Structure 1
Amino acid sequence: MANIIRKKRDFHNVSRGWNIVLNIIAGLFAFICVFPFLFVVIISLTDEKTLATNGYQLIPAKWSLDAYRYVFESGDALLRSYGVTIVVTLVGTLISLILISLYAYAISRKSFRYRNFFNVFAIITMLFNGGMIPTYMVVSQLLGLKDTLWALILPLAMNAFYIMILRTFYSTSVPEPIIESGRIDGADDFYIFLRIVLPLSLPGLATIGLFSTLGYWNDWFNALLYIDDPNLVPLQSMLMRIENSIAFIQQNSANSSLSMTALQSIPQDTARMAMVVLATLPIIFAYPFFQRYFVQGLTVGAVKE
């Protein structure tokens, strides 16, 4: 027994040299992951003429904020689109977590009578859907959600794949004896879910929350279908409209001297990179938030002996 303990201790004790090597490898891997975004930021801060002359450089010959000036020339429209996206992302993620967590918990319990039916019901929606036209008719005509924020929230609120992930997490990470002990103490199902299951499920909830946040933040298709009001256009759709405006001027520059003049004043490539930065930078701050709950979820809740 002592030899086994000693071998385990020796396995976990890494020499200083290997520790340095492993840290260097981890640092290089992290740099490889971060470098593409940093390079996009550098390009967005490069002068357009310098970029056309010298190509992509890590240290541009001339820095410029013209790309961001061009994007922000839309003024209140861009800030308003940021506000719409933030509201849709926060409200949508909250609603999505509530619906998915309740659905997944119900079908994860063997005592639930209709467990198999709702399992199959969720799986079928992963394989088949009604199609774009029936979905559009339901959202816009039957539910009357056209030109409302709910048209951007409700279609993405439920996701069968996320339900399957969280159902599996509940089944494998929430011990049945804990739930039975709660029932013996007189707790009902909602109390058990809120006080016992959720604290044990924070890693799974954080994962689903992160997926939902990314889905809402990057969504532009629902806005294309259901939003005509310029005051309700989300960020991704707004940036796409700016991109389409640049592409339109490029395609028609040969037929109009006015378009050629406008084209020369537009930071084309750097503006595209600026749009990537503006669309990506805010969502980056969501990762530390969810990472905090990953760590917290691993330490909250345990079976006391």
Structure 2
Amino acid sequence: MTLLKKKNRFVLLSYIILTLVAIAIIVPFWILFAASFTDESWAVNHGFSLIPGKWSTLAYQYVLSRWETFGKAYLITICVTVCGVILCLVVTAPCAYMLSKKDLFGRRVISFLLIFTMLFNGGMIASYVNYTQIFHLKNSYLAYIIPNLVTSAYTIMLVRSYFQSSIPDELYESARIDGASEFGCFIRIAIPLAKPILATIALMQGIAYWNDWQNGTYYISDYGKWGIMNVLNSINNSASYLSTLTTQSEGVPTTTMRLAIAVIGILPLICIYPLFQKYFVKGITMGAIKG
């Protein structure tokens, strides 16, 4: 009975802690959402609150009126995210499957090189020179994709661990007895059984591509090729960029407009994440790299 009471107390304490953590996470998002619907002058004078002190949709009206700028940036971010995730999965899955085979020649050397690139890199200057002068990615949409793609060693090791620990070799042997080739084993056995970890990788990389503003800042100097995060970052930090969006800065809701763009920017992630949540938890648990 005493043990049962202790267990119930622990469960109650766990729920209380999780509730507080959830509140701490949700409240900032709600304040962001409420503030984006607050009148500019009221927000500047009184600050932000959980409920808009003076309701206004001027910020969203302004964003929609400049949709040729914001809409294009939004579309660029969507295309980059989709293409980046697809390319990452196309590169990650075959490499991970190959490295999961113990009889692969040079397996340890390749794994060491991948781990080495996870720990060390040439630095920002070397990367900039490579991408701009060797690969000529300056002002190219590929500059959003390639830098993140070549740093996907972690995802390869994660999926490799999943293949090794979660898919028994007997399945491959049975398929080979039935006449399946190595490619057939990969397509018909490995990929279907690896859906949880692949969905996890897709979610992780999708968030990374969606929130990426650094590559656009480094390699894209053409405002017309910026993604939504680069636009938001420039509005927050550069008055000169804001002046390019309008010929009349007076009356522009700069503060609430930033919040409105931020809300529009995070909505896809909020909508998509619940769909991948079960795969995310299962994939991380089953595909965790074991010591």
Query: Which bracket does the TM-score occupy, shorter chain normalised?
Result: 0.7 to 0.9
* Residues in 1 aligned to 2:140 and 2:229: alpha-carbon distance in whole angstroms: 17
Cα offset, 1:71, TM superposition:
3.7
For residues 15-94 of structure 1, the aligned pairs below 5 Å read 30-94=22-86
Deviations 1:70-118 (A, max 9, x none): 4445330111111111111001100001111111121122121221011
Code of the aligned partner of 1:267? P
Gap runs ≥5 in structure 2: 243-247, 284-291
| Residue 289 of structure 2: aligned partner | none
* Residues in 2 aligned to 1:244 and 1:22: alpha-carbon distance in whole angstroms: 41
Cα offset, 1:292, TM superposition:
6.6
Kindly indicate whether residue 98 of structure 2 is the aligned counterpart of residue 106 of structure 1.
yes
Go from structure 1 to structure 2 and tell me whether the alpha carbon gap of 1:95 and 1:105 turns closer, same or farther (over 3 Å shift): same
- Calculate the aligned-residue CA RMSD, in Å: 3.2
Does the aligned pair in 1 maintain the 2:74–2:228 contact within 8 Å? yes
- SS in structure 2 of the partner of residue 147 of structure 1: coil
* Residues in 2 aligned to 1:225 and 1:24: alpha-carbon distance in whole angstroms: 44
Instruction: Give TM-score, length-normalised by structure 2.
Output: 0.82
| Residue 214 of structure 2: aligned partner | 221
Report the structure number with the largest CA radius of gyration.
1
Does 67-76 or 169-178 show the bigger shift? 67-76
Deviations 1:207-237 (A, max 9, x none): 1111110111111111112223333211111
Match 1:273 to one of 214, 235, 259 = 259
- SS in structure 2 of the partner of residue 181 of structure 1: helix
Instruction: Give TM-score, length-normalised by structure 1.
Output: 0.78
* Residues in 1 aligned to 2:14 and 2:208: alpha-carbon distance in whole angstroms: 34
Deviations 1:163-199 (A, max 9, x none): 2221211111111111122222221111111110111
Gap runs ≥5 in structure 1: 1-10, 250-260, 298-305
Does 78-87 or 277-286 show the bigger shift? 277-286
Indicate the percent of aligned positions where both proteins have the same amino acid.
39
* Residues in 1 aligned to 2:45 and 2:123: alpha-carbon distance in whole angstroms: 48
* Residues in 2 aligned to 1:271 and 1:66: alpha-carbon distance in whole angstroms: 8
Go from structure 1 to structure 2 and tell me whether the alpha carbon gap of 1:23 and 1:123 turns closer, same or farther (over 3 Å shift): closer
- SS in structure 2 of the partner of residue 61 of structure 1: coil
Equivalent residues, number: 275
Match 1:284 to one of 270, 282, 285 = 270
Code of the aligned partner of 1:171? Q
Does the aligned pair in 1 maintain the 2:203–2:276 contact within 8 Å? yes
Kindly indicate whether residue 131 of structure 2 is the aligned counterpart of residue 145 of structure 1.
no
Go from structure 1 to structure 2 and tell me whether the alpha carbon gap of 1:127 and 1:61 turns closer, same or farther (over 3 Å shift): closer
Kindly indicate whether residue 148 of structure 2 is the aligned counterpart of residue 166 of structure 1.
no
